[in-house]
Structure 1
Amino acid sequence: MTDSFFTRTLGLSGLVLLGLGGCSQVAQLPAPPNPLSVNRSEAAAPSRPPLPLPENGNFIVAAVEREGAAVVRINASRRVGNADPFGGLFGGPPANDRVERGSGSGFIFDSNGLLMTNAHVVEGADRVQVRLKDGRTYEGKVLGADSVTDVAVVKIDAKDLPTVRLGNSDQLRPGEWAIAIGNPLGLDSTVTVGIISATGRSSSEVGIPDKRVGFIQTDAAINPGNSGGPLLNAAGEVIGINTAIRADGQGIGFAVPINTARRIADQIIQTGKASHPLLGVQMLPLTPEIAQENNRNPNARIKLPEIEGALIVQVLPNSPAAAAGIRRGDVITTADGQSIRSASDLQAAVEKKKVGDRLSLDLLRQQQKRQVTVQLAEIPQQ
């Protein structure tokens, strides 16, 4: 049974996370020696040319033959309580003896047994089993799972394993080839192909407002069980982690960019968790068209500038934004001197900072220009 208790449908968007069950770097302190540290000489390399083609000249076959051995199946399970208060004395099952199971995908990025998957594939699991393509099965240890970016790192006790090559998701362009490998609906080692439909999809656009990721959108077919599996480019490099689909659409899937996933995985390996800076606002993209529509409304409480920017719709109490004097209705236009043309631009500016850093913001408030400096706090773990 695939994705039994791990699949979640969120709100009216029909978004499904396909497995069990926001984002900047921690302060860059010198990391202590770590036996799980990854040899990233290959991971840090620039994007490579396409793999040598097989005899039939198919680059998809070449990519799958090179990377497919490093794609794994993850079976996760947990015990849950039941409603029998007598622990089975009167014929019912004993309390806490029911086991819920789900499955997803993952990929090995270090030959000494480190693999990436989605956090929602392994969150809450009491037991994680990892099955390789060649049939070998290992018990997995979850080193950390970050729900804000939906990235997790799992360790298995094995050496000399096949690994994927990590690409550069910052260089993606809509229209490029996209290849998904995973285990949808229990069908192991399934390959689908499509294109990169869009990049930088904000969490609000995707329908997961509690995440802080600029998602990759793809029309490569992904289904429950694909979650945590790799999305490859034409060169056979991993460019994303397949994460969610729109259940109310066709050919609308989303992946966490590999640059984001790699950064979070590094933090998890070094510290056991990821740390994220908090600004403390809810925002929407502002365009001249949106502003004009608002301003034509005689009941509108405020007049909006007919520009592009990030419109603040709520300021969280006791947040860094509140302490800096940011108000509902403010329009953020620059961050540290860089133009802000949308809510996702402001999110990206925050993600580039570390907890405790200061962020200089220019904003418009009732047509008046203002400048504020915000000292970013840390998003609580819960």
Structure 2
Amino acid sequence: MKKHQKIFAAIFMAILIPCFTLLMSACGIDTTYVSPIVSVDKITTSDIEEATNKAVLSVVSIYTEGNTLASSVFGSTTSQTVFSAGAGIIYKLDKAAGDAYIVTNYHVVYNKSYTTSNHIAKKIYAEIYGSEGTTATELSDGSVSITYGQQVIACEYVGGALNYDIAVLKISNSDIIKNSCVRAADIATNPAHLGETAIAIGNPLGIGISATKGIVSVESEYIQYSDFYDVVVRCLRTDAPINGGNSGGGLFDEKARLLGIVNAGINDAQNIGMAIPTNLAINVADNIIYNYEKSGYSGVKLYNLGLTTGIANNKAVYDEETKLTYMKEDIIVTESSGMALTSGLLVGDKVVSVQLGETKLELSREFELNEFFLKVRPGDTFKISVVRTTGIYTATVTASSLNYKSVA
């Protein structure tokens, strides 16, 4: 239709509709208009939609750059800049001050070829959901080129540990944070269970924050990082699609609670992704933040009781009340030395519980005991209970600052 025909039609309709309405009203016919569009306040959303829209505000895109040395065919070396992309979770937030602690994967900010003394990227930036503008382009040689957006936020490396694949970053006095609707992630208080909804939110391929959905396929297992000095990390497994760039992002349940930090996908398999369980990731992050704020140390310090354990009688148990299947195993002391021996813990004891302050944990898996010591700070007094042939024995231990070891 030509332009003047369109104008004519619009004028014609503008005259016709009021006349038609007056005629209908004169005939006693109700002319009240009912919109076919549902008003916003009547839109209903599913639990998954609500969780995704809430959780996405706790996820940031991460972009890093570092220098590596490249050798030429003539034997000389030149410095080149390497870019990479990942994601992170807002763990602690002071929005009014524009401050935040971000939890991500160690491998998002670490590269063994970086020329920095700790092999951490020289520059680390974050972008919040809705303010993204950075673009990542894969070049013909397989490297990545990044063009930063206008709302990137500089991050400080706080600390991390390769053996846990967890790192913590810090954002300070950011106006972007102050004027945003970001939120700290809600943390799941219970471990993920088999079949639970799993929403993965990250920065796949470095092209911006997005979400995928699946379930928890395995609640706890160990994977080996062949690219990182054969480090073995405890993970949960999900069938939510995971791509490069998802690393450091979050795996959330249907209530938007954080189940884990996404850290890996299996390239030659379909929908096998991994995430570091929240209870482990947060214990590591809290340990790093404590050391950073206390002394400026940029790593993990683990209390060493002098106890070595093994497992026996591992089995699955179905709980009729919760309708969930749990894994259980006996935790048996195989070596006792140092404070463990001094405190009366013996080889052959079955460890059944630990207590720090008022919080008591009944143990059903060996990793629960190992990860408990991430929470023990110098000067803390804790209890560890065991079962032996003579009955139950409880040792009370006060953690000395001399009994800590650094975990790289």
Whether the 8 Å CA contact 1:117–1:152 is kept in 2: the answer is yes
Paired residue secondary structure (1:287):
strand
| Counterparts in 2 of 1:283 and 1:225: CA distance versus 1, 3 Å | farther
Q: How does 1:300-379 map to 2 (within 5 A)?
A: 308-312=329-333, 320-321=339-340, 330-336=348-354, 340-355=363-378, 357=381, 359-362=383-386, 373=395, 377-379=403-405
Could you give the per-residue CA deviations for residues 211-259 of structure 1, whole angstroms, max 9, x where no partner exists?
A: 786x443222222211111222223343332123455654343323445
- Identify which range, 330-339 or 65-74, moves more after superposition: 330-339
Q: In structure 2, which of residues 63, 68, 72 is the aligned counterpart of residue 80 of structure 1?
A: 68
| Counterparts in 2 of 1:165 and 1:59: CA distance versus 1, 3 Å | farther
Residue 207 of structure 1 and its aligned partner are, at CA, apart by 4.5
Residue 125 of structure 1 and its aligned partner are, at CA, apart by 1.3
Matched, 1:166 2:185: yes
Structural RMSD (CA): 4.0
Q: What TM-score results when the alignment is normalised by the length of structure 1?
A: 0.62
CA distance in 2, matches of 1:308, 1:66: 36
- Bigger fraction of residues in strand: 2
Q: Which amino acid aligns with 1:185?
A: L
| Counterparts in 2 of 1:78 and 1:53: CA distance versus 1, 3 Å | farther
Q: Which amino acid aligns with 2:255?
A: A
CA distance in 1, matches of 2:169, 2:49: 28
Aligned-pair identity in percent equals 24
Q: In structure 1, which of residues 117, 141, 146 is the aligned counterpart of residue 104 of structure 2?
A: 117
Structure possessing the higher radius of gyration over alpha carbons: 2
Segments of 5+ residues of structure 1 without an aligned counterpart are 1-51, 85-89, 290-306
Paired residue secondary structure (1:223):
coil
CA distance in 2, matches of 1:158, 1:321: 46
| Counterparts in 2 of 1:190 and 1:53: CA distance versus 1, 3 Å | farther
Task: Give the structure 2 partner of residue 131 of structure 1.
Answer: 127
Task: Give the structure 1 partner of residue 311 of structure 2.
Answer: 285
Paired residue secondary structure (1:380):
strand
Whether the 8 Å CA contact 2:165–2:233 is kept in 1: the answer is no
Residue 126 of structure 1 and its aligned partner are, at CA, apart by 1.6
Q: Which has the higher contact order (CA 8 A, sep 6+)?
A: 1
Paired residue secondary structure (2:87):
strand
CA distance in 1, matches of 2:185, 2:74: 53
Q: Which amino acid aligns with 1:128?
A: I
Whether the 8 Å CA contact 1:284–1:342 is kept in 2: the answer is no
Segments of 5+ residues of structure 2 without an aligned counterpart are 1-39, 111-119, 134-150, 316-327, 356-360
| Counterparts in 2 of 1:197 and 1:226: CA distance versus 1, 3 Å | same
| Counterparts in 2 of 1:332 and 1:221: CA distance versus 1, 3 Å | same
Residue 104 of structure 1 and its aligned partner are, at CA, apart by 0.8
Q: Which amino acid aligns with 2:51?
A: A
Could you give the per-residue CA deviations for residues 11-46 of structure 1, whole angstroms, max 9, x where no partner exists?
A: xxxxxxxxxxxxxxxxxxxxxxxxxxxxxxxxxxxx
Q: Which amino acid aligns with 2:248?
A: G
Q: What TM-score results when the alignment is normalised by the length of structure 2?
A: 0.59
Q: How does 1:8-19 map to 2 (within 5 A)?
A: none
Task: Give the structure 2 partner of residue 255 of structure 1.
Answer: 275
CA distance in 1, matches of 2:238, 2:367: 19
Could you give the per-residue CA deviations for residues 300-325 of structure 1, whole angstroms, max 9, x where no partner exists?
A: xxxxxxx952245667xx76557668
Could you give the per-residue CA deviations for residues 269-315 of structure 1, whole angstroms, max 9, x where no partner exists?
A: 633444322234554321178xxxxxxxxxxxxxxxxx952245667
CA distance in 2, matches of 1:103, 1:347: 31
CA distance in 2, matches of 1:100, 1:144: 21
Whether the 8 Å CA contact 1:53–1:59 is kept in 2: the answer is no
Matched, 1:224 2:244: yes
Paired residue secondary structure (1:75):
strand
Residue 108 of structure 1 and its aligned partner are, at CA, apart by 3.4
Whether the 8 Å CA contact 2:163–2:407 is kept in 1: the answer is no
Paired residue secondary structure (1:344):
helix
CA distance in 2, matches of 1:53, 1:266: 40
Q: Which amino acid aligns with 1:362?
A: V
Paired residue secondary structure (1:276):
strand
Paired residue secondary structure (1:330):
coil
